[in-house]
Amino acid sequence: MVFTGLALWAILTSEAWPEVQQQFFNPDAFVEVFPAVLSGFWLDVRMFLGAEVLILFFALLVAMARSLRGPAFFPIRSLAVVFIDVVRGVPIILLILILGFGVPALDLTGVPRSPLFWGVAALVISYSAYTAEVYRAGIDSVPESQRMSARSLGLTQVQTLRYVLIPQAIRNVVPALLNGFVSLQKDVSLVFVLGVREGVREAEIFNARTFNYTGYIVAAILFLIVSIPVARFTDWYTERDRRRRQAMSV
Amino acid sequence: MKLQVEACSKAFEDKVVLDELDLAVAEHEVVCLVGASGSGKSTLLKVINLLVPVDSGRILLDGRDITAPDVNVNEVRSRMAIVFQSFNLFPHMNVIDNITLAPRKVHGVGRREATAMADELLARFGLLDKRTEYPDRLSGGQQQRVAIVRALALEPELLLLDEVTSALDPVLVGEVLALLRELKESGITMVIATHEMGFARESADRVAFLHAGKVWEEGPPSELFTAPGRPETREFLRRITEAGRL
């Protein structure tokens, strides 16, 4: 509190503050840029909602592939490992640039050319790799005896994952999944590098035209408005889960 | 179902748990495995269920080698069932779903039919009022009885029981043993690893004492418990008696 107060006091009393205020917190610019940034932000919202659904699905498939045991599944398991290693090793911004500019340039028939499509695809691919590891941690956290018990009943490996391990695993990793979702909400704005007119891009366009930065503040506020509730929900869920487990172990 | 374990060996890292172990179980026979902790009782049961692969030796079910590489593991497992010391019910499913999962997904039985069968088994073992409860709402004895019902729902020809009473309060042991006695009446072939010598003495057709990774001595309980032939068996029984477990 004290530090925040001191920092605020330092900022607000600095000599350059009036100028910064004009550049970043200009009420007239705020009114002017708000509609454009808001409509761009609406695209961000649609992107992260759509991407999240795909990510949760693909990541689960990758995690399942990675959790299969035995020599028979070696090829599919290796494929999952290679996918995760490669994708996690590449900065997400590069993945967006490579796919967003690279694939449309190939000019393949039947392949979408929209930068928006490939930007979101890059996000889905990247986040699927991370999220697959979250799922896998969850699957590994289910006691081995559950797997053995399911297998002893004659369930196949895939059935064991689907009916026994994954339902328990997901419960264990909901907070981690929500955390990834918060992160994705902000990272969707990275597709602005492809020229997609989402919130940050609209703010940038305004800035290029007027040399005023208020649009960025507007975008930041909009991102906060959606991410803070998810963060609060994550904490609430984690706390409730902790209490339930405690009650169960008594 | 007739079971033959022939010269099975299993080592974990350097620790030899089973050493060319032989065991034959006739159809409708109830065999109790006794022996100190770590004598290989649990491992033997898991080996028979193919949950743990043997290093060498073979296992025959009705004369067919189930350790052969071309065997469908899931098909073999669906003809026998194993129940563990720690129940291992699925905590996210209620009793009915725990019991009907394998019949529906492995045997392809319809939900209605599987549920009817589960209800019948639950009624037979006095658990019908628990059918929609989740495992964490049941006592240990109830959980273990549900686990046994879950195994029975597969209509196994061979039932493997791995110290099913060891994790239970003494008061709850009785209800599980009563269930096992009833099962014996039904004629199912059973291999039971147990520390309950009283139960073994009264219910087993044959008792096998495991020691050093082998069936060290076996015979009808009346003989093995009263006139053990080998010094290791005598020593084991002496210690059990001292502990007041016989």
Encode chain B (246 residues) as per-residue pLDDT tens digits: 889 999 999 999 888 999 999 999 999 999 999 998 888 899 999 999 998 889 999 999 998 999 888 888 888 888 899 999 888 999 999 999 999 999 999 889 999 999 999 999 999 888 999 999 999 889 888 898 899 999 999 889 999 999 888 878 887 788 888 888 888 888 899 999 988 888 888 889 999 999 988 999 999 998 888 888 899 999 998 888 887 766
Count: domains in chain A? 1
pLDDT for B13 equals 87
Determine contact, residues A199/A40, Cβ cutoff 8 Å. yes
Say yes or no to pLDDT of A207 above 70. yes
Q: Is residue A19 part of a domain?
A: no
Residues 51-70 of B with CB under 8 A from A: 51
Confidence tier at A250 by pLDDT (50, 70, 90): low
Q: Which domain holds residue A131?
A: 25-249
Name the average pLDDT for chain A: 89
Provide the 10 A C-beta neighbour count for residue B17.
21
Instruction: Supply B109's token pair.
Output: 């039985």
* Separation CA A27–CA A218 (nearest Å): 11
Provide the pLDDT for residue B140.
86
Which chain A residues are within 8 Å of B49, Cβ to Cβ? Answer: 152
Partner-chain residue, chosen from A145, A155, A171, that has the shortest CB–CB distance to B84? A145
Q: Are A204 and A212 in contact (CB under 8 A)?
A: no
Contact A171 B92 (CB under 8 A): yes
Cβ atoms B78, B106 nearer than 8 A: yes
CATH number of the domain within which A124 lies? 1.10.3720.10
Q: CB pairs under 8 A, 24+ apart, for B204-208? A: B204/B30, B204/B31, B204/B32, B205/B29, B205/B30, B205/B31, B206/B29, B206/B30, B206/B31, B206/B32, B207/B31, B207/B32, B207/B33, B207/B34, B208/B23, B208/B31, B208/B32, B208/B33, B208/B34
pTM for the whole structure: 0.84
Residue A53 maps to a domain: yes
Mutation target among B99, B105, B144, B149 for the A interface, most CBs of A within 10 A: B105
Q: Residue A249: pLDDT band by 50, 70, 90 thresholds? A: low
Q: B212's torsion region: left (phi>0), alpha (psi -120 to 50) or beta?
A: left
Given a contact cutoff of 8 angstroms between Cβ atoms, the answer to whether A138 and A62 are in contact is no
Question: According to the 3-state scheme, what is the secondary structure of B127-140?
Answer: CHHHCCCCHHHCCH
Q: Helices A115-141 and A27-67 meet at what angle, rounded to 10? A: 50
> Measured between alpha carbons, how far is A10 from A15 in angstroms, rounded to an integer?
10
For residue B151, the chain A residues in CB contact (below 8 A) are: 153
Looking at residue A8, what is its pLDDT?
86
Residue A155 lies in a domain: yes
Question: Can you state the percent helix, strand and coil of chain B, rounding each to 5?
Answer: 40, 25, 35
Asked whether residue A72 is domain-assigned, the answer is yes
Q: What is the DSSP letter of A191?
A: G
Out of B74, B78, B88, the one facing A149 most closely (by C-beta) is B88
Residue A26: what pLDDT? 84
Q: How far apart are CA B92 and CA B142, in angstroms?
A: 17
Contacts of B100 in chain A (CB under 8 A): none
Task: Spell out which residues of chain A touch residue B107, defining contact as CB-CB under 8 Å.
Answer: 154
Is A146 close to B90, i.e. CB distance below 8 A? Answer: yes
What are B215's strand-pairing partners?
B210
Contact, B31 vs B191, CB < 8 A?
yes
Q: What is the pLDDT of residue A199?
A: 87
Query: How high is the pLDDT of residue A120?
Result: 92
- Report pLDDT for A118: 92
Report DSSP letters for A108-130, one per residue.
Answer: -TTS---HHHHHHHHHHHHHHHH
* A239: in domain: yes
> In degrees rounded to 5, what are phi and psi of residue B20?
45, 50
Q: What is the pLDDT of residues A172-202, one digit of tens each?
A: 899 999 999 999 988 988 988 888 888 888 8
Nearest CA to A126 out of A88, A179, A176, A180 is that of: A88
A35 close to B (CB below 8 A): no
Q: Is the CB of A163 less than 8 angstroms away from the CB of B105?
A: yes
Whether A212 and A29 have beta carbons less than 8 Å apart is answered as yes
Region A140-154: mean pLDDT is: 92
Interface size between A and B, measured as CB pairs under 8 A = 56
Q: Which residues of B172-200 are buried (b: 16+ CB within 10 A; e: fewer)?
A: bbebbbebbeebbeeebbbbbbbbbbebb
> According to the model, what pLDDT value does residue B190 have?
93
Mean pLDDT of A212-217: 88
pLDDT 10s digits, A84-101: 999 999 999 999 999 998
Cα R_g (chain A), whole angstroms:
23
Residue A115 lies in a domain: yes
Q: Give Cα A21 distance to the centre of its chain.
A: 32
Q: What is the pLDDT of residues A224-234, one digit of tens each?
A: 999 999 889 98
User: Which of B74, B86, B88 shows the shortest C-beta gap to A154?
Assistant: B74
What's the pLDDT score for residue B246? 62
The percent of residues above 90 in pLDDT, for chain A, comes to: 49
Residue in chain A nearest B91 by alpha carbon:
A168
B150 vs A: CB within 8 A: yes
DSSP conformation class of B25: E
What's the CA gap between B76 and B82, in Å, rounded? 12
Judging contacts by C-beta atoms under 8 Å, the chain B residues touching residue A156 are: 74
Q: Which residue of B has its CA nearest to A244?
A: B136
Q: What is the DSSP letter of B219?
A: E
